[in-house]
Chains A and B, each alone.
Chain A
Amino acid sequence: MAVTDSTIQRYTHSDPDVRLMLRVREDDAAAFEELMLRYQNRVVSLLGHLVGKRDLAEDLAQDVFLRVYRSRKRYVPGSKFSTWLFTIANNVASNALRTLSRRKEVHVAPRPNESGALSIDGSFAAASALMPTRQLDKAELRQLVQDSLVVLNDRQRMAVLLAKFECLNYNEIGEIMEMSPQAIKSLLSRAREKLRETLEPYFNGEAKGTQTL
């Protein structure tokens, strides 16, 4: 899609990261390092939640930045820099997840049980056994929330993470995931419904033992 001059100017003016990337395009190593420092934690966090393994997430993040470098000469500021960066991250993550699923190596605990249904045993069982006699403590809540992501499929998880952590709007998420804003709206709605179904019992004291979803 052709990007108009006015769009370029708008993003160049409004987004300091776009300006940094334009310097990278001119082979400015310091600008690249600056961009890395700004985004590395965010990219690794995102990929970590997607693939479930810290070391793999770091490897993939390195790949993301390598692709940023390799694409520098073709870079045109048609959107916010973060949108462009997370588009690359989404591609890298999708490829990795495809490979991993072929090798059945995705470990976003807990795993599907044999019946194919997700049985959230681990922390959920532990937490539910305690409910409703007391509130979840911070660590339990964190583990519970982390584990809850497993109920989402890869696309839902990506959309949730981009919306939650990167505060991107539906247009931007759609751009990254190559979907329409309306499709993102549906995707996020279904994702959040799943999360609500999974987590709300623990907040409302409605737990009834191990949850089978």
Chain B
Amino acid sequence: MTPSSSNLDDSLREELVAYLDGELPPAESEAIERRIASDPAARRELEGFDRVWNALDELPRQQVDETFTKSTIEMTALAAEREAAALTAALPIAKRRRSYAVAMGCTLAAAVAFLGAWGAAARPNRELVSNLPVIEHFDELRAIKDFDFLSTLHTQVGQELTVDNAELETQVADWDQTSQASYSQRVERVQQLSPDQQAVLASQASRFAALPPEQRTQLAELDRTIAADPKANELRSTVLGYHDWLNQPNFSPADRATIGRTEVNQIVRQIERDQNNDRWRLSAEEQEKLREVFAALKGSPELTRTPRELGDKFAELRAMAERNAERGTRRFEGPDQRGELQAAVDKSPTLQLMIVSRIATSNEVPPFFGRSQIEALRQQAQQDWNSIETKLLSALTAERAARLRERMSAEDRARLLVFATSQAVQQSQPRDFADFIADSDRVSDQQLQEYLALPRDQMLAELRQDFSSADLRNDDFGRFLRGMGRGRSGPFGGRGWFGGPGDRGPRDRGPENVQPRDGPPRNGPPPDRQFGGPGFDGPGGPPPPPGKEPL
């Protein structure tokens, strides 16, 4: 305390302050002025008060933003709404008191008018801002039944759901940031969104608001539980990945509804299976490149010489059969009695590719051949196939090519590449397709009738398959191929030595024969119809859309 202040009494101090504040009547003001003129202590005191009072100008003044105004107005509009609701509830009673009712009615109308005037102005509101992390991930969180469901998904298929999705990391970081943001930071975030994003958010907010209160609480609780978990961001990745999986285009709304009612372990199995297939799905660009590479290979020695030599060996077999028939010792029912196989092989580069790859990578021996006959061809076939394989792999993304090399045996890889190539070739020009149907030598009337009897999608799928394998569809030759496969069980389940797109005709439509019969080797459990409806690759499902054939 300064010496001066202690010397002054309280009443003089009050007068000095009131003088400074302009609160003294004229006579008292004059008395104070006389006092300070004659009393240095009082003058110092006055100057001190004045200086300190002026220093208070330094106190910061707050500036609120537009959001404050809007959210306050919205709160007030909400109050008006409640007022209106309360008045509406009171109306039956009010009817008994007519004059009161009239007055209430007027107030009600005014409250409603208030609401109307403010309806559009008030965004973002407090509700939106406080629930922003939930509202922003409304659809994603809605797909998660509860935290246990999420934990199971995360433990069992978290990896599968999030692999190869570079965007997830950003999205998760974003989610985390919103979750930890203060109220004002969230407001800022909402304001920085583009008008389109704001519209999406507004729509999600209104859907959130439309939920029953207990469901809103559940969702908010789920988000809080995730946020509180030590693995919060991994769980968020799973939430987002699961939502992506659920929203793949080949699920219909009905599928999604069914999945929503399905037990988590069953969903886990389905995801495992899907991810297995997806891993080998080629992009349209890769398919295009594959077609180019394969077109360049057509007619090249590496593709043709092994099939040709195999054809020569067939010719030897045929000659032997004829000799045997002439001798009458045994009627030989062997293959290619009329040289049709050789003609077909010459005409079909796809078949040539199959032959080279199989001889190069498989230890199996086709029927009617001796092991030594095939071994003689193998070395050359392996050399050719190595070259062909390198070219085919160059059509794929480096990542996929590396994965194929690392994770698959040479034999499985060969089969995949042949399959992928034949699928890519099938996506060829519609004009060829039309020519194919119109060509009565290739499609008989009966076959045409069978095609036409099919539903459109299935017909196109069948045509696509048969078009590429038309050269192999000759009855005798088909029998031959099926004969080759009989009794053998290769790595792909006894589909025959040339198992692949070839061994298939319009009449061969058994239930086991529905696509993706010629799909990739499956590491997971066999396809089963778990959820029904189109989209799953179980029996009855349509083929994958063009350009997205499973590889």
Contacts and interface: CB of A to CB of B under 8 A. Distances in A.
B76 A54 contact: no
Contacts of A37: 69
A186 B14 contact: yes
B58 A170 contact: no
A189 B14 contact: yes
B61 A41 contact: yes
Interface in A140-174: 141-142, 145-146, 149, 160, 163-165, 169-170
Contacts of A165: 59, 61
A179 interface: no
Contacts of B23: 169-170, 181, 185
Interface in A29-66: 29-30, 32-33, 36-37, 40-41, 44-45, 48-49, 54-55, 57-58, 61-62, 65-66
Interface string B39-59: 000000000110111011011
B160 to A, nearest CB: 43
A20 interface: no
Contact of B21 (A49, A61, A163): A163
Interface stretch (A81-89, A123-131, A194-202): A194-202
Interface string B467-506: 0000000000000000000000000000000000000000
B17 A192 contact: yes
B49 A45 contact: no
A27 interface: yes
A153 B107 CA distance: 42
Determine the interface band of chain A, counting residues with CB < 8 A from chain B: 35 or more
Determine the interface band of chain B, counting residues with CB < 8 A from chain A: 35 or more
B454 interface: no
A70 interface: yes
B63 interface: yes
Given A57-B62, A189-B18, A33 B69 contact: yes
Interface stretch (B112-120, B147-155, B261-269, B528-536): B112-120
B110 interface: yes
B59 to A, nearest CB: 6
Nearest to B115: A29
Nearest to B121: A33
A3 B297 CA distance: 102
Contacts of B18: 170, 185, 189
B10 to A, nearest CB: 7
A58 to B, nearest CB: 6
Given A45-B62, A163-B21, A186-B14, A65 B49 contact: no
Contacts of B79: 66, 69-70
A199 B52 CA distance: 7
B35 interface: no
A193 interface: yes
A88 B132 CA distance: 32
A200 B48 contact: yes
A33 B68 CA distance: 12
B296 interface: no
B363 interface: no
B183 to A, nearest CB: 6
A188 interface: yes
Given A48-B62, A169-B23, A197-B5, A192 B52 contact: yes
Interface of B: 1-2, 5, 10, 13-14, 17-18, 21, 23, 48-49, 51-53, 55-56, 58-64, 68-69, 71-73, 75-76, 79-80, 107, 110-111, 113-114, 117-118, 121, 182-184
**Across the A-B interface, the 8 shortest Cβ-Cβ residue pairs:** A29-B117, A27-B110, A189-B14, A45-B62, A142-B58, A189-B17, A44-B62, A145-B58
Interface of A: 26-27, 29-30, 32-33, 36-37, 40-41, 44-45, 48-49, 54-55, 57-58, 61-62, 65-66, 69-70, 73, 138, 141-142, 145-146, 149, 160, 163-165, 169-170, 181, 185-186, 188-189, 192-193, 195-197, 199-200, 203, 206
